[in-house]
Amino acid sequence: MVIPMALHRHLEILKIVYGIATSIFSIGRGGFVLYWYLWIDY
């Protein structure tokens, strides 16, 4: 199944926003590590 480019970009942006939100709302370094783990593990 081929994902349309527009949808792919939208999902990519959502993933980044989710990672940033997780980083902000998590306390301390754990949230930051979790954010990078989610961002790199794409």
Q: What does the pLDDT look like over 16-28, one tens digit per residue?
A: 888 877 777 765 5
Distance CA(17)–CA(11), nearest Å, equals: 10
pTM of the model: 0.43
Average pLDDT of the chain? 73
Distance CA(32)–CA(29), nearest Å, equals: 5
Structure tokens at 20: 């940033």
The pLDDT confidence band at residue 39, using thresholds 50, 70 and 90, is low
15 touches 7 (CB < 8 A): no
The pLDDT confidence band at residue 41, using thresholds 50, 70 and 90, is low
